[in-house]
Amino acid sequence: MTGRVLVIDDEQVMCDLVREALQARDFEVTTTTRPADALELVRTGQPDVVVTDLRMKEMTGLDLCRSILVQAPGIPVLMMTGFGTMEAAIGAIRAGAYDFLTKPIDMATLAQVVGRAVEDQRLLRRLSELREDSTPSPSLLIGHSPSMTALLALIRRASRSIVPVLICGESGTGKELAARALHDASPRRDGPFLAVNCAAIPATLLESELFGHVRGAFTDAKRARSGLILQAAGGTLFLDEIGDMPLALQPKLLRVLQERRYRPVGGDRELEVSCRIVSATHQDLAVRASEGSFRGDLYYRLNVIQLDIPPLRSRTGDILTLAHHFLRRAAADSPDRVEGMTPEFARTLLTYSWPGNVRELQNCIERAVALTSNRDLVPEDLPAAIRATPRSAVESSAVDTGLRPLDEVEREHILRVLNAVEGRRGEAAAILGIDRKTLYRKLERYALESPTED
């Protein structure tokens, strides 16, 4: 069910109309004509949303709304009335109503408002859970989505060996955090973890940075210097942006991986390698290798185990967990007390596609905490570009990953079946494995008309 809705109206006909409209959209609906019974149902059943008439004989909708919110704070109460005056609307809002609808009720609008209220309730519960959970994450990589759970399991298995690991993912997904998690879970956790960005160091200096040099190896080499490979002995050396390593230097790294030996710049003897090599890239190295801009033999040696870091848009279930983690850290360093975020703020986070991934989310939360004057973050604390996003998180995922929303797939399949049986709904329902009533609801939901009637 989409959500549990309690409807109160002293006219049974109105209760029946609302119930039929909401049930057709998969809401679980309970109705009553008596406000006193409604209060008991709220106490025992805890519906997700309450829809009530404003003018009733036993108790006004305003009084009922106040009583419900005393009994169960936070439940959204939608007010319906045939007297859509400004005074009535103000009274409803003051009583704590979630929204105010004027009769005759447009059932599609009602269902939309009820759906939004249910979503807000779930967001509030999730935000409350996050706020109460003050336990720091045991992992550097935060997330409970299926893709992150699988990634963490693979990291645990890969940590037991010393074979090279290649971490792939878009910029901002946390590739270095994955490398640190791999190091921390390994028997080498007490050894050093050293990181170098191959794209940030000039090609002429990168060789000396990695392999070190002996005195007099070049003009400015006034004394010998150990490279990062030696400094990382007994630990892990992380080579970020490995795709930008100069081609001329790649054979020397290949020898490190194959022979576990290397020679410092200007040196006349080889040294043994005792660190684990973990590399990362946002590029497709297989394509680069086929084009000749990256050595294929080096790619295969680097890619003994591959870890793929999923983009944030494909794991929207982790967005609020990450946002709360960043909020808690930023709030600890802020002079103003920021305690959480509103459902509207959370919804805005969930409807943005996050092209900059986790790094962009972290920056946005830190910016919001620094600039807000509210106890709980509101959408206005976010940059305008994020507030104005035109796509939902699911739609963004579909565009960027080739995946499609379930509703879209179901609608297309129903239409294909209807066309195949020339619009015979009974036959279509049998093929789809549903009854005719369910098929009619789906036809209405997806605004589909079959080519012919039975």
Domain boundary among 89, 109, 132: 132
Q: Could you tell me if residue 453 is inside a domain?
A: no
Q: Are residues 317 and 418 in the same domain?
A: no
What DSSP assignment string belongs to 401-423?
HS---HHHHHHHHHHHHHHHTTT
- Residue 77 dihedral angles phi and psi, to the nearest 5°: -115, 115
Per-residue pLDDT at 208: 87
Q: What is the DSSP letter of 110?
A: H
Task: Note the Cα 423 to chain centre separation in Å.
Answer: 40
Whether 154 and 298 share a structural domain: yes
Same domain, 98 and 187: no
Residues 183 and 248 occupy one common structural domain: yes
Q: Which domain holds residue 355?
A: 313-401
Q: What is the pLDDT of residue 446?
A: 61
Predicted local confidence at residue 398, as pLDDT: 36
The label of the residue with tokens 């940030």 reads 200
Q: Is residue 454 part of a domain?
A: no
Give the CA distances from residue 13 to residues 18, 20, 117, 437, in Å, rounded to whole numbers and listed in that order: 9, 11, 24, 22
**What whole-number distance in Å separates Cα of residue 405 and Cα of residue 396?**
10
Do 162 and 286 lie in one domain? The reply is: yes
Asked whether residue 140 is assigned to any structural domain, the reply reads no
At 343-402, the pLDDT tens digits run: 889 989 988 999 999 999 999 999 999 999 888 999 999 998 888 764 443 333 333 333
- Where does 117-221 show beta strands of DSSP type E? 165-168, 193-197, 212-213
- Is residue 16 within 8 A of residue 41, CB to CB? The reply is no
Same structural domain, 150 and 295: yes
Among the candidates 285, 308, 331, a domain finishes at 308
Shared domain for 23 and 124, answered yes or no, is: yes
Per-residue burial over 290-302, b = 16 or more CB atoms within 10 Å of its CB, e = otherwise: eeeebbeebbbbb
Residue with tokens 């959209």: 25
Instruction: Please tell me the distance from the alpha carbon of residue 290 to that of residue 326, in angstroms, as a whole number.
Output: 40
Decide if 137 is inside a domain: no
d(CA 405, CA 444): 18
Both 8 and 119 in one domain: the answer is: yes
Let me know whether 266 and 359 are in one domain: no
The upper half-sphere exposure of residue 6, i.e. CA atoms within 13 Å in the direction of its Cβ, equals: 26
Q: Quick one: pLDDT at residue 280?
A: 97
Residue 181 lies in a domain: yes
174, part of any domain: yes
Which residues touch 85 (CB under 8 Å, ≥6 apart)?
A: none
Residue 427's φ and ψ, nearest 5 degrees, are -70, -40
Residues in contact with 259: Cβ distance below 8 Å, sequence separation at least 6, in sequence order = none
Type and span of the H or E element at 436: helix 436-445
Does residue 344 sit within a domain? yes
pLDDT means over runs of 10, the chain (454 residues):
85 92 91 91 88 88 90 87 72 82 86 88 76 58 85 92 94 94 93 94 88 71 81 95 94 93 82 93 94 94 95 89 90 80 89 92 94 90 81 38 54 76 80 81 64 44
Alpha-carbon distance 294 to 321, whole Å? 38
pLDDT of the residue at 406: 62
Separation of alpha carbons 352 and 121, rounded Å? 20
User: What CATH number is given to the structural domain containing 73?
Assistant: 3.40.50.2300
Distance of CA 165 to the CA centre of its chain: 26
Q: What does the pLDDT read at residue 6?
A: 94
Among 44, 45, 53, which residue's Cα sits nearest to residue 7?
53
Q: What is the pLDDT of residue 88?
A: 74
102/158 same-domain check? no
d(Cα 75, Cα 92) in Å, to the nearest integer?
Answer: 14
Give the separation between CA 174 and CA 169, rounded to whole angstroms. Answer: 8
Q: Are residues 170 and 283 in the same domain?
A: yes
**What is the model's pLDDT at position 391?**
42
pLDDT of residue 135: 55
pLDDT for 424 equals 81
User: Are residues 355 and 389 in contact, defined by beta-carbon separation less than 8 angstroms?
Assistant: no
Q: Is residue 452 part of a domain?
A: no
Same-domain status, 335 and 426? no
98 touches 76 (CB < 8 A): yes
CATH number for the domain that contains residue 438: 1.10.10.60
Task: Count structural domains, the chain.
Answer: 4
